[in-house]
Structure 1
Amino acid sequence: MASPNLEHLSDDARAGPVSRFLKATEIDSRLLGMIGALVLIWIGFHLYGGIVNGFAAFITPRNLWNLSVQTSSIGIMATGMVLVIVTRHIDLSVGSILGFAAMMMAVTQVNILPEFLGLGHPAIWIIAIAVGLLVGMLVGAFHGWLIAYLGIPAFIVTLGGLLVWRGATFLTTRGETIAPLDSTFALLGGGPYGAVGSTWSWILGVVACVGIVFMLLSGRKQRKRFQFPLRPVWADTFLGVVGCGAVLGFVMLVNSYPWPRGIVRQYAAANNIEVPDGGLFISHGFAIPVLILILVGLAMTFLTTRTRFGRYVFAIGGNPEAAELAGINTRWVTVKIFALMGFLCGLSAVVASARLNSASGNLGTLDELYVIAAAVIGGTSFAGGIGTIYGAILGAVVMQSLQAGMVLIGFDAAVQQIVVGSVLVVAVWVDTIYRKRAQ
């Protein structure tokens, strides 16, 4: 019997089931690769910890909740680094800007404002945050101006910024650590009181699921309106079920991590609550830093995909000369990109200093490595024009998982740096191979 002539078959018929599934659902294969790598990292550290330490403590509600909080600061900055790298630039100063902004906020709320407003004034933490965000944005805009209008390479400008702002952080207080910070400000760093609890977590989870369904239906309506190809109904249904399942699973995870017993006793005593014999279970729920990261991710995704500014950014990254000939003010866009990066560094400084309830001269040291690695692992190409916000956030989770896992099983700082450097090189190598195959 003669074999069928494959030349007469369509591309879909020739493709394998996995390829047809990915095409129907429009899921990025690199996203699946990152998720697979993350699962392997978690399972590997969990099993290794059980073999070496006698107990497996990585895949637990406590550790994963702390992991989400630790990822927030790096993840926030990684969303801005996507835009920087997409336009074929680099920012080596983000860790130093974070440290400088954190120190400015600490000095403002501890040494300056109490003299004018009084200790514990409710406006102190708000003014301090405004100072940190403004400082970060101004520093980033200054870097962007040097790069765009004076023609100094971004590598040199931000390398100089790494040294300048780290030195300025030290000179501000002569190396002293400023602590403790305003009590309300400290809630933004997480902890039992810096979380929204079980009820609000479920409410937010349900709202997120409604948002996922709305986006799928709205996207389908828009495709019909502009006569674009539609995803199969089963594909949209699959994406909705998986998305809502992931959200609700995350809610269950954060709600399964209870407050420590000592804090529960303090809370019960302060509110005249009787603690039963078996103890009182109070869920952490979503930590405030994680909610800040989620909001930043949504805002940055909207900025990059639904605004003129976002289109300009990717146009410049794809072909800077063509973008300029098309009438895009590439220099002004560059200034805005670095100003936005500085603003996000200031926001990360809020999370990082609030989590520690202090600001020191070494806060944010080497964060630039983790931020750049997170963006690159997330699929942002150094060749420009390619990058996603959700990929950078997932890349931040991967990097923080590696760091947290190595700390958990007892690797020293030297080994951690070797691993981070190696992962960064491998990520760039994988990106190079991916782009060659895509050509």
Structure 2
Amino acid sequence: MTDTTTNAPADRARTTELSLVGRFLRDTEIDTRMLGMIGALLLIWVGLHILSGGLFLTPRNLWNLSVQSASVAIMATGMVLVIVTRNIDLSVGSVQGFIGMVMGVTQAEFLPRIIGLPLGDPWIWVIALCVGLAMGLVIGAFQGFLIAYLAIPAFIVTLGGLLVWRGAAWWVTSGRTVAPLDPTFQLMGGGPAGSIGATASWIIAVVACVAVVVMLLNGRRQRQRFKFPLRPVWAEVFLGTVTCGAILGAIWVANSYPWPIGIVRRYAEANGITIPEGGLFIAHGIAIPVLIAVAIGVIMTFITTRTRFGRYVFAIGGNPEAAELAGINTRWVTMKIFMIMGLLTAISAAISSARQNASTNVMGTLDELLVIAAAVIGGTSLAGGSGTVAGAMLGALLMQSLQSGMVLLGLDTPLQNIVVGLVLVVAVWLDTLYRKRV
């Protein structure tokens, strides 16, 4: 009895502590997997910052990291739909290289030499981009048709696509690099000219924060309307404050990275600006590829959570047989998923080639590994039926953080690939453990 009486207060204290955490997670409705991923990302950032001698968590590196993550994040949003339906796409890296090469040849050689459009014509980049997007849709539709209507496993179709489109990328120019690309097209790759500046960035931040507040208020009204349980007011305020704080913090970092001195000097001379003694500070602001990635993330989130098509995708992933018996045209939905994947890959190809100002047949090599890893690390289950677009984009940032950190540490490319492969295996293992516990 003495032992029981002595241990009771400690047990009640532990129970109270757990209940406080549990109540916090319940009231805020925060996804514990997402919270864990954010924690892991912050730990990785701090660790790489220490190991790199203070080079990682700098405005310059974080800005470059956001630009480098954009292309992988865009493809990862489509890979979520693919994996949720219990499929896989191993061809995205090769398709990216092939479409990038086609867009490069279109704007650098075909339109100026064959059609006769002068270099710098505003239609060159528009036509090249439209050609790339159309090709992405066609390739996605072709592979989706083989998978959905001919019942060929997605693994086999996309594995064949990995080889076919990589070979096709080389065949377009016999391995020759195509450069330079159209100046306007290059803006999609980022850089000083491919950024929107400090003022526009702050305006977007304010608009985004207002949108967050409106979404929270609208969500609360919808819950009241349908008599769903309401989050406590403090939880709504907490979520709004943290989200807006993260947005404003990201903009502050983007605006803390100035243009290089040489570009500032040329800009000042061209515009008749006198450079003061302390130098002229011109902020990059948000890069255009990052804006594109965020916009696609918002659109894909809306598609997956607010449309009938999105509900069909998760229904198929949860139970394909039941979905078909419920009247869902599973084959057409599957084909549309691969068409979306092809379109997103084309956008990613445009960003990657614009950033390099060149189209090469090796572009996108092993990107399929990064894209799949980003989706899985972001909580998309290989067993199908669950996954989020936001998680996949966060996973892309995590994967690119590892690569960027390893470059700063001077690690060789083979060792970088080993680390990426190990991270993918560990992510799948953790997903398996999580599903068993749930």
TM-score bracket relative to the smaller structure = over 0.9
Distance 2:366 2:8 in 1: 58
Are the aligned partners of 1:97 and 1:166 in contact in 2 as well (CA < 8 Å)? yes
Question: 5 Å matches for 1:273-422?
Answer: 273-422=273-422
Shift of 1:16: 2.2
CA–CA distance in structure 2, aligned partners of residues 132 and 224 of structure 1: 46
Deviates more, 1:113-122 or 1:37-46: 113-122
The question of whether the paired residues in 2 share the 8 Å contact of 1:114 and 1:121 is answered with no
Q: Are 2:55 and 1:82 aligned?
A: no
Amino acid across the alignment from 1:401: S
**Paired residue for 1:21, among 14, 21, 24?**
24
Q: Which amino acid aligns with 1:46?
A: H
In the alignment, which residue of structure 2 is the partner of 1:53? Answer: none
Give the 3-state SS of the residue equivalent to 1:119 in structure 2.
Answer: coil
- TM-aligned CA distance change 1:287 to 1:322, over 3 Å: same
Report the Cα distance in structure 2 between the residues aligned to 1:419 and 1:118, rounded to whole angstroms. Answer: 46
SS of residue paired to 2:52: helix
Count of residue pairs brought into register by the alignment? 429
Answering whether residue 66 of structure 2 is matched by residue 68 of structure 1, we say yes
1:46 and 2:49 matched = yes
Shift of 1:297: 0.3
Offset, 1:368: 0.2
Partners of 1:302 and 1:32 in 2: CA distance: 21
Q: Give the deviation of 1:114 after TM superposition.
A: 1.4
Do 1:189 and 1:352's aligned partners in 2 also have CA atoms closer than 8 Å? Answer: yes
> Aligned equivalents of 1:120 and 1:157: distance in 2?
39
Two-structure CA RMSD over aligned residues (Å): 1.6
Distance 1:317 1:234 in 2: 36
User: Residue by residue, what CA displacement relative to the aligned partner does 1:294-318 show, whole Å, maximum 9, x if unpaired?
Assistant: 0000000000000000000000000
Q: In the aligned structure 2, how far is the partner of 1:92 from the partner of 1:256?
A: 38
Shift of residue 277 of structure 1?
1.1
In 2, distance between residues paired with 1:39 and 1:113?
A: 47
2:316 aligned partner, one-letter code: I
Letter in 2 for 1:337: I
One-letter amino acid of the counterpart of residue 26, structure 2: K
Q: Residues 354-381 of structure 1: CA distance to partner in whole angstroms, max 9, x if unpaired?
A: 0000000100000000000000000000
Counterpart residue type for residue 40 of structure 2: A
Letter in 1 for 2:71: S
Q: 2:111 aligns with which of 104, 113, 134?
A: 113
Q: Shift of residue 348 of structure 1? A: 0.1
In structure 1, distance between residues paired with 2:52 and 2:107: 42
Shift, 1:384, TM fit? 0.5
Q: Give the aligned partner of residue 241 of structure 1.
A: 241
Find the aligned partners of 2:257 and 2:220 in 1 and give their Cα distance. 38
Using the alignment, how far apart are the partners of 1:48 and 1:111 within structure 2? 45
Amino acid at match of 1:213: V
- Give, in whole Å, the separation in 2 of the partners of 1:125 and 1:326: 45
Alpha-carbon distance between aligned partners in 1 of 2:8 and 2:326, rounded to the nearest angstrom: 47
Within 5 Å, give how 1:262-273 maps onto structure 2.
262-273=262-273
1:204 maps to 204
1:31 is aligned to 34
Structure 1 Cα separation of the partners of residues 380 and 373 of structure 2: 10
Counterpart for residue 174 of structure 2: 174
Counterpart CA distance in 1 for 2:410 and 2:112 is: 42
Cα shift at 1:219 = 0.3
From 35, 55, 58, give the equivalent of 2:56.
58
Distance 1:217 1:188 in 2: 34
Deviations 1:21-58 (A, max 9, x none): 111000001111111111111111111112xxxxx200
The CA deviation at 1:15 is 4.8
Matched AA of 2:239? L
Q: Match for residue 228 of structure 1?
A: 228
CA distance, structure 2, for counterparts of residue 219 and residue 140 of structure 1? 35
Q: Name the residue aligned to 1:217.
A: 217
3-state SS of paired residue (2:363): coil
| Uncovered stretches (5+) of structure 1, i.e. residues with no partner | 51-55
Per the alignment, in what secondary structure is the counterpart of residue 364 of structure 1? coil
Task: Report the alpha carbon displacement of residue 5 of structure 1 after superposing the two structures with TM.
Answer: 11
Residues in 2 aligned to 1:300 and 1:313: alpha-carbon distance in whole angstroms: 12
Unaligned runs of 5+ in 2: none
Q: Report if aligned partners of 1:132, 1:346 keep a CA contact under 8 Å in 2.
A: yes
CA distance in 1, matches of 2:220, 2:365: 45
TM-score, with length taken from structure 2: 0.96
Task: Tell me if the contact between 1:114 and 1:120 (Cα under 8 Å) persists in the aligned partners.
Answer: no
Question: Could you say what secondary structure the match of 1:123 adopts?
Answer: helix
One-letter amino acid of the structure 1 residue matched with residue 384 of structure 2:
G
Letter in 2 for 1:201: S
Cα offset for 1:87?
A: 0.1
Distance (Å, rounded) in 2 between the aligned partners of 1:77 and 1:221: 34
The equivalent of 1:137 in structure 2 is 137
Deviations 1:405-437 (A, max 9, x none): 000011101110110000000000000000000
